Structure 1
Amino acid sequence: PTLLLPKRILAQQRLHIQLQECIRKNAANTLSMANMLMGLSSILCILKGHHYFASWLLLIGYLLDLADGAVARQLNACSSLGAKLDDFADFTTFGIASALLLPIHSVLDGLLVICYIMTVFTRLCFFSSGIPFMYRGLPCAYASVILACTNLLSRGNLLILQLTAILMVLLMVDKGLYPHDKILESQSWKKLVYAGGIVMILCSSVPSACVYYLVWSASYILFPAALWSYKD
């Protein structure tokens, strides 16, 4: 019996180490899956006519998307599987779910939805600029935030949503350079901006939260290098 005790302790220690390693390797993938879940849930809400909840879920997906890459790098758990999972999640949430916020009353409306989805798909496939930590064209997550907030503030106004979607498509296919901001790995004020986004989701009114996210996204579009370039 005295020999069994050390063996049992060693087995428990090995199990604990294996569990820690499993968590380390899959923490970022879990966040990507959660992002995808937000996108799928948003699609279901749209199909049921609950565009308010659908837009809110897109904002949560945006926060999750900013977090998964930071977690993967901090835990040294970057992998090809994680990158593919992140792309699938982004396409679901910021492509399909975001595009379905646009009401479809005619063939032209449907074509705009398809155009938006294909633009996001193209960006995810060919986003690389060849310059480290830089994207070519507006990242689809920011376009999704602007579309979701516009939907909430305009209460689903067709014309306003369509004009916003067209503008987002043009920015996403534009050849302008946008930095990989790495909000959770950069200056303290950027982390506060992220924390403010969480507070707005949990505690704020819809107009206040939308204004917050629109200002955040607009600052990224208007002053990408000056404000959002990665800095230690």
Structure 2
Amino acid sequence: MILLSPSSGLFQCTNKLFLSDDATGLQIKEFARKNAANALSVANMVMGITSILSSLNGHHHAACWLVLIGYLLDLADGAVARRLGACSALGAKLDDYADFTTFGIATSLLLRTSDLLDNVLCVCYVLSVFTRLCFFTSGIPFMYRGLPCIYSSAILASASLLSGGNLALLRVIAVAMILFMISQNFYPHDRVLESQAWKKAVYAGGVVMLFCSSFPPACVYYLLWSVSYILFPTSLWSSKV
């Protein structure tokens, strides 16, 4: 005959509760691992949507800064996904949607005025970003076909802040960026956070500049960073360097 103490049932319930808590904790950690990069893409999209609203409400300065924040988020999401082994088809789609929102629509609105030609330029810019994203795969490992739209957006946003929204300058830059994006030139996959230490330092400097610096030095920093990618893509920014 086996006697069960009154506390044995309580012990079993407590044990099940701890096991259940452990399982829930593991599920939460796994969910966070799988969706950390997706969260960065969604954050990038939120920056783009907020930038669009800022432009429509006449807050041009804020709209430019939000595009630059999206720039940092976009460089981080792919690195986080690969680091955590969480690359997925959903993540790739979210990244494209976020890029189109922030570096397509939001950036084009930095050029928007009541003038018909400026509105046509906005449409052309959005279409060039759309074309660029559609032809993202170049068929060559670690290479893009056409200038990644993230860099053209950073150049436009920085130039807009530095020039006080000088439309003549922005029009010239926008046309040049459109030509770069739809070109057949190849650009290296810029895995900034997965490459040499100095590239990680450049990224960290971008974060510091954006949140801890006055806007002229920060704009110059992002402008030089993006222009260097256009001028020295292979010698500086290739992931194989």
TM-score after normalising by structure 1: 0.98
Task: Kindly indicate whether the alpha-carbon contact (under 8 Å) linking 1:103 and 1:158 is maintained by their aligned counterparts in 2.
Answer: no
Inter-partner Cα distance in structure 2 for 1:120 and 1:165: 12
- Choose the corresponding residue for 2:80, options 65, 71, 74: 71
- Choose the corresponding residue for 2:177, options 168, 171, 175: 168
1:214 matched to which residue of 2?
A: 223
Inter-partner Cα distance in structure 2 for 1:202 and 1:112: 31
Amino acid at match of 1:108: L
Cα shift at 1:90: 0.3
Task: Kindly indicate whether the alpha-carbon contact (under 8 Å) linking 1:39 and 1:92 is maintained by their aligned counterparts in 2.
Answer: yes
Tell me which moved more, 99-108 or 128-137: 99-108
Inter-partner Cα distance in structure 2 for 1:5 and 1:118: 60
Is 2:43 the counterpart of 1:5?
no
Inter-partner Cα distance in structure 2 for 1:212 and 1:56: 13
Cα shift at 1:155: 0.6
Higher Cα radius of gyration: 2
Cα shift at 1:69: 0.4
Inter-partner Cα distance in structure 2 for 1:224 and 1:182: 12
Inter-partner Cα distance in structure 1 for 2:17 and 2:112: 61
Inter-partner Cα distance in structure 2 for 1:29 and 1:147: 26
Structure 2 residue ranges without an equivalent (≥5): 1-9
Q: For 1:105-116, what aligned pairs fall within 5 Å after superposition?
A: 105-116=114-125
Inter-partner Cα distance in structure 2 for 1:17 and 1:105: 54
2:132 matched to which residue of 1?
A: 123
Secondary structure of the structure 1 residue equivalent to 2:124: helix
Q: For 1:46-195, what aligned pairs fall within 5 Å after superposition?
A: 46-195=55-204
Give the aligned length: 232
Task: Kindly indicate whether the alpha-carbon contact (under 8 Å) linking 1:143 and 1:168 is maintained by their aligned counterparts in 2.
Answer: yes
Secondary structure of the structure 2 residue equivalent to 1:3: helix
Cα shift at 1:127: 2.1
Percent identity, aligned pairs only, is 63
Amino acid at match of 1:187: Q
Secondary structure of the structure 2 residue equivalent to 1:178: strand
Inter-partner Cα distance in structure 1 for 2:164 and 2:48: 20
Secondary structure of the structure 1 residue equivalent to 2:111: coil
Secondary structure of the structure 2 residue equivalent to 1:135: strand
Inter-partner Cα distance in structure 2 for 1:23 and 1:87: 21
Cα shift at 1:87: 0.4
Inter-partner Cα distance in structure 2 for 1:2 and 1:150: 67
Provide Cα deviations, 1:37-60, integer angstroms capped at 9, x if missing partner.
000000011011110000000000
Provide Cα deviations, 1:104-125, integer angstroms capped at 9, x if missing partner.
2322111110000000001101
Cα shift at 1:215: 0.8
Cα shift at 1:134: 0.3
Task: Kindly indicate whether the alpha-carbon contact (under 8 Å) linking 1:95 and 1:116 is maintained by their aligned counterparts in 2.
Answer: yes
Structure 1 residue ranges without an equivalent (≥5): none
Q: For 1:23-62, what aligned pairs fall within 5 Å after superposition?
A: 23-62=32-71
TM-score after normalising by structure 2: 0.94
Inter-partner Cα distance in structure 2 for 1:140 and 1:172: 7
